[in-house]
Amino acid sequence: MPEFDRVHPFLFERLDIRGAIVCLADAWRSLLVGRDYPLPVANLLGEMSAVTTLIAANLKQAGRMTFQLRGTGPVNRLVLDCDEQLRLRGMAHWQADSIQGQRSAPEWLGHGQLALTLDTVGMRVPYQSLVPLTGECVAGIFEHYLAQSEQRPTRLLLAADAGRAAGLFLQKLPDADARDPDGWNRVEHLLATWRPQEMLALEPLELLRRLFPEEDIRVFAARPVSHHCPEDWEKIRDLLHGLGRAECDAILSEKGEILIRDDLCNRDYRFSPDEVAALFAAATLH
């Protein structure tokens, strides 16, 4: 079975440390189609795609997990959305005149917040949380978030380019020190010997073997990841019904058409005056 576009959970058998690894290939390239993101923007979005997939793999109920990073820097918004089937979609906003030169992630992103929205079956109101952007890179920002939300030491290694987006997640479990007092430090040291770009050259399980050659690792069944952003005309029609005929007619009078932009899926929905008239006529018949 191909190892790309799959989340591979694993466990260090003797250390009580869990982890997961993913390398997005077709899913990542599909998300980029038609976007024309500058390289720094695409790299940040790719890293966020990988970590969002790793975290969403822990969803136990049907629903969606959405991470939104808003900042004051040249890359001022990153949004990644993933459901329990690991169907991913995402987007980025940036200031076109400011994407040049070499900068660190804090310089690209500026000051701001990382927001999580979790909406699963059975929730009356979606769960939301906010943390400040703290960290020297996307991995650091999410390590800070996970340390606050889960109260467990966590490490992330992330990398992205135009062809792949990869992520490695490690988390220390409660019995780790009892199993091996030096286990977590040893794993952290080994992780520090790798550079993110090296992750993009290997298949995920080969990376694990090379990164932790002396450790016993149990790898569990992999889960497929896909980019999933189908057209949803019904949702857009419901939106227009919610606006009402008078508001729609006012937009048509000014613009000549109604254009609904779906940034997350990189898609436009257009309605001519005749299509709007038919939409409300059909609603009247029902």
Supply the range of the domain harboring residue 87.
6-227
Buried b (16+ CB within 10 A) or exposed e, 26-50: ebbebbbeeeebeebbbbbbbbbbb
- Specify whether 165 is located in the same domain as 263: no
The mean pLDDT value for 52-71 works out to: 92
pLDDT at 186: 94
The mean pLDDT value for 191-208 works out to: 89
Query: Are 224 and 86 contacting, i.e. CB atoms less than 8 angstroms apart?
Result: yes
Q: What pLDDT digit, counting tens, does each position of 15-36 carry?
A: 999 999 999 999 999 999 999 8
- Check whether 85 has a pLDDT greater than 60: yes
- Specify whether 64 is located in the same domain as 183: yes
Domain-embedded: residue 26: yes
Domain-embedded: residue 238: yes
Domain-embedded: residue 1: no
- Specify whether 60 is located in the same domain as 172: yes
- Check whether 89 has a pLDDT greater than 70: yes
- Specify whether 129 is located in the same domain as 207: yes
Distances (CA, A) of 190 to 2, 105, 225: 26, 23, 27
- Specify whether 206 is located in the same domain as 248: no
Domain-embedded: residue 55: yes
CA distance 124 to 22: 32
Number of domains into which the chain is organized: 2
- Check whether 285 has a pLDDT greater than 60: no
| Phi, psi values for residue 95, rounded to 5° | -90, 110
- Check whether 136 has a pLDDT greater than 90: no
- Check whether 2 has a pLDDT greater than 80: no
pLDDT at 259: 95
- Specify whether 216 is located in the same domain as 278: no
Query: Are 47 and 158 contacting, i.e. CB atoms less than 8 angstroms apart?
Result: yes
Q: What pLDDT digit, counting tens, does each position of 216-235 carry?
A: 999 999 999 999 999 899 99
Domain-embedded: residue 98: yes
* Cβ neighbours, 10 Å, residue 174: 8
CATH assignment at residue 26: 3.55.30.10
Of residues 188, 197, 190, 165, the one with CA closest to residue 22: 165
Q: What pLDDT digit, counting tens, does each position of 110-130 carry?
A: 899 999 999 988 788 888 999
CATH assignment at residue 259: 3.90.1280.10
- Check whether 284 has a pLDDT greater than 80: no
Buried b (16+ CB within 10 A) or exposed e, 63-88: bbbbbbbbbebbbbebbbbbbbebbb
Q: What pLDDT digit, counting tens, does each position of 230-241 carry?
A: 989 999 999 999
Domain-embedded: residue 277: yes
Q: What percent of the chain has pLDDT over 90?
A: 73
Domain-embedded: residue 87: yes
Domain-embedded: residue 93: yes
